[in-house]
């Protein structure tokens, strides 16, 4: 059945074009990768048909299904444009079809057994003595039952006794569901009834719904489809829960004056709050201000940033800070680390927190530049790319910033997508830009980078502008040398006009290079 989702329609468009960044952005919004368009084409089929190998790999990694025994999978394989893509699809393990579809889900699953930062602060204990250690904040975010129980216990308690009716298998089910580890294929018919009972008690809505539907289905093909559907639904359920949890983090932030020292009362009120934090994130309101905002956060989430991961896994204990009380004494009872956000922008900081917790990738154009700067400092390459996408897709960005300011940003933070956007913009109005001294300066700067970019023997900015001039007029460079103005060429007057306009713009650029005594 054709989807009515506008995001899915946009996803299909970018799959035809081959834009990896935009596809990844839409996947992060929860688009169903295994839906089909009005022509019965899946995103994977479109990517393979159009020959976009990088995109095929991304779609498979994010959970697109290529089952060769089904019509949709066979179409992908036999419709692939290249042998390379066909081999990727043929070698793909169908068991990965229920693998994790989004980076945030993959990260949550990895935290189930990751002991590197000692974040497992709550022990769940069965009546028979079996137990497991999990993250209290994640239990609270994903279950109203656990949120209530943990809040009543208080921050000093580390053990939570589960109801007597929870069977031994319950610990694995709770862990898998909360951490988004695929579990539906492991549940037996004998276990379904007892699992359904406690999943309803804990507020595991998606799991309860799946078990209720599955009990009346005998056909294995239908069961398989239901499993695939609900594994996707579980991720979207978790994203929404984490989004609501982040809103709670924002609501509980505290305004502090760092010059006077952050009082233990402020820190302890956050520590004992509903978000069950184990780290505080400090964001200054601006560079010259002593006023900042303190967010109650979680190390196991913010280590999605490699910057924070290195900080918390370093053998040097440099992340714990103690603050003086009003009488000047050092209070060592507050042992939570306080870490500083690398730029002074509250909006960008909260957007990045949203990305870390539930993979929000919708970035408004007016904050995209600061998000890019912060993402670079935090070593978050994927978020840098998403910020660049937001910039290039905005019609307003270049109303506030000049194209040369954007080029400086592209070079400073090594974002090729922005370099190409600048070149495309210049090519679009070459008559205007060749008259500006800033273009000369930019060409000289690009030329000076040749020593650090040894893979090219020409000026990259000039090459990019020439490329986009060809695209502007839809002219093939290989045809230019053979073009004969005295003959009737295929395409007639329209082609002659396009070639003529291209040559006129091209000559404007060449004239500028000649004045600058640059011969390339």
In a domain, 199, yes or no: yes
For residue 298, give the CATH number of its domain: 3.30.710
For residue 213, give the CATH number of its domain: 3.30.710.10
What are the tokens at 355?
């990305």
Mean pLDDT, residues 376-401 taken together = 92
At residue 375, the pLDDT reads: 95
Quickly state the pLDDT bin for 209 (edges 50, 70, 90). Answer: very high
Q: Which long-range contacts (CB under 8 A, 24 or more apart) does 28-31 make?
A: 28/102, 28/103, 28/104, 28/359, 28/360, 28/361, 29/361, 29/362, 30/102, 30/235, 30/236, 30/239, 31/5, 31/7
Domain range for residue 300? Answer: 252-358
Last residue of a domain, one of 358, 388, 422: 358
In a domain, 391, yes or no: no
In a domain, 389, yes or no: no
Question: What whole-number distance in Å separates Cα of residue 223 and Cα of residue 461?
Answer: 55
234 and 315 together in one domain: no
At residue 280, the pLDDT reads: 93
157 and 269 together in one domain: no
For residue 81, give the CATH number of its domain: 1.25.40.20
H-helix or E-strand spanning residue 284:
strand 279-284
| CB 129 within 8 Å of CB 94 | no
133 and 62 together in one domain: no
Question: What whole-number distance in Å separates Cα of residue 168 and Cα of residue 126?
Answer: 7
Look at the chain and report how many structural domains it folds into.
Answer: 4
Mean pLDDT, residues 29-41 taken together = 80
What are the CA-CA distances from residue 351 to residues 27, 247, 360, 421 (Å)? Answer: 18, 11, 8, 24
112 and 218 together in one domain: yes
Percent helix / strand / coil, the chain, rounded to 5: 55, 5, 35
pLDDT at 451 over 70: no
320 and 433 together in one domain: no
pLDDT, one tens digit per residue, over 37-75 is 888 888 999 999 999 999 998 888 877 877 554 555 667
Mean pLDDT, residues 143-171 taken together = 88
Radius of gyration of the chain (CA): 28
Quickly state the pLDDT bin for 324 (edges 50, 70, 90). Answer: very low
414 and 332 together in one domain: no
CB atoms near residue 20 (< 10 Å): 18
At residue 223, the pLDDT reads: 80
In a domain, 378, yes or no: no
Phi-psi region of 500 (alpha: psi -120 to 50; beta: other; left: phi over 0): alpha
Last residue of a domain, one of 99, 119, 141: 99
Residues facing 280 on adjacent strands: 296, 338
406 and 489 together in one domain: yes
Which of 98-107, 199-208, 284-293, 509-518 shows the lowest per-residue confidence on average (mean pLDDT)? 98-107
Mean pLDDT, residues 472-493 taken together = 62
133 and 235 together in one domain: yes
Mean pLDDT, residues 132-147 taken together = 95
In a domain, 296, yes or no: yes
Mean pLDDT, residues 3-18 taken together = 84
At residue 99, the pLDDT reads: 41
264 and 343 together in one domain: yes
pLDDT at 428 over 90: yes
414 and 353 together in one domain: no
Last residue of a domain, one of 300, 324, 358: 358
110 and 234 together in one domain: yes
In a domain, 63, yes or no: yes
pLDDT, one tens digit per residue, over 325-341 is 344 333 334 457 888 89
Place of tokens 């006077």: 260
At residue 314, the pLDDT reads: 75
In a domain, 507, yes or no: yes
Question: What whole-number distance in Å separates Cα of residue 146 and Cα of residue 166?
Answer: 14
236 and 280 together in one domain: no
In a domain, 393, yes or no: no
pLDDT at 348 over 60: yes
Which of 121-130, 133-142, 480-489 shows the lowest per-residue confidence on average (mean pLDDT)? 480-489
């Amino acid at each position: 059945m054709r989807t009515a989702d506008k995001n899915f329609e946009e996803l299909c468009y970018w799959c035809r074009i081959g834009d990896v960044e935009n596809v990844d952005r839409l996947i992060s919004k929860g688009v169903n990768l295994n839906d089909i368009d009005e022509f019965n084409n899946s995103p994977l089929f479109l990517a393979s048909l159009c020959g976009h190998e990088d995109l095929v790999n991304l779609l498979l990694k994010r959970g697109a299904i290529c089952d060769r025994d089904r019509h949709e999978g066979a179409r992908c394989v036999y419709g692939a444009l290249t042998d390379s893509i066909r081999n990727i699809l043929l070698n793909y393990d169908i068991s990965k079809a229920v693998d994790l579809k989004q980076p945030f889900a993959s990260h949550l699953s990895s935290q189930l057994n990751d002991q590197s930062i000692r974040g497992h602060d709550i022990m769940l204990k069965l009546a028979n003595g079996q137990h497991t250690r999990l993250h209290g904040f994640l239990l609270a975010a994903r279950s109203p039952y656990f949120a209530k129980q943990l809040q009543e216990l208080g921050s000093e308690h580390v053990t939570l006794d589960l109801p007597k009716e929870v069977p031994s298998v319950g610990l694995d089910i709770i862990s898998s569901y909360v951490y988004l580890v695929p579990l539906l294929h492991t549940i037996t018919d004998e276990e379904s009834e007892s699992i359904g009972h406690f999943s309803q008690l804990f507020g595991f809505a998606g799991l309860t719904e799946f078990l209720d539907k599955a009990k009346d289905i005998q056909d294995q093909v239908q069961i398989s489809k239901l499993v695939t559907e609900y594994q996707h639904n579980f991720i979207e359920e978790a994203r929404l829960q984490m989004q609501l949890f982040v809103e709670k983090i924002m609501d509980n932030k505290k305004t502090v004056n760092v010059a006077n020292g952050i009082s233990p009362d402020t820190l302890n009120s956050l520590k004992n709050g509903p978000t069950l934090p184990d780290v505080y994130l400090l964001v200054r309101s601006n560079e010259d201000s002593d006023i900042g905002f303190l967010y109650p956060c979680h190390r196991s989430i913010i280590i999605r940033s490699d910057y924070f991961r290195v900080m918390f896994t370093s053998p040097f204990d440099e992340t714990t800070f103690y603050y003086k009380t009003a009488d000047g004494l050092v209070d060592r009872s507050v042992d939570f680390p306080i870490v500083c956000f690398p730029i002074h922008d509250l909006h960008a900081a909260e957007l990045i927190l949203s990305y870390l917790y539930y993979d929000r990738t919708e970035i408004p154009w007016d904050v995209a530049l600061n998000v890019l700067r912060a993402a670079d400092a935090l070593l978050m390459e994927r978020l840098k790319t998403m910020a660049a996408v937001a910039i290039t897709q905005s019609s307003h960005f270049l109303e506030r910033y000049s194209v040369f300011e954007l080029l400086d940003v592209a070079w400073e933070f090594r974002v090729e997508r922005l370099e190409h956007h600048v070149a495309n913009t210049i090519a679009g109005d070459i008559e205007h830009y060749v008259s500006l001294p800033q273009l000369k300066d930019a060409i000289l700067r690009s030329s000076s980078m040749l020593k650090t970019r040894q893979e090219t023997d020409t000026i990259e900015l000039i090459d990019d502008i020439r490329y986009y001039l060809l695209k502007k007029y839809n002219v093939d460079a290989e045809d230019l040398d053979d073009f004969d103005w005295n003959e009737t060429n295929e395409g007639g007057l329209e082609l002659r006009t396009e070639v003529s306009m291209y040559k006129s713009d091209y000559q404007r650029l060449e004239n500028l290079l000649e004045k600058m005594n640059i011969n390339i």
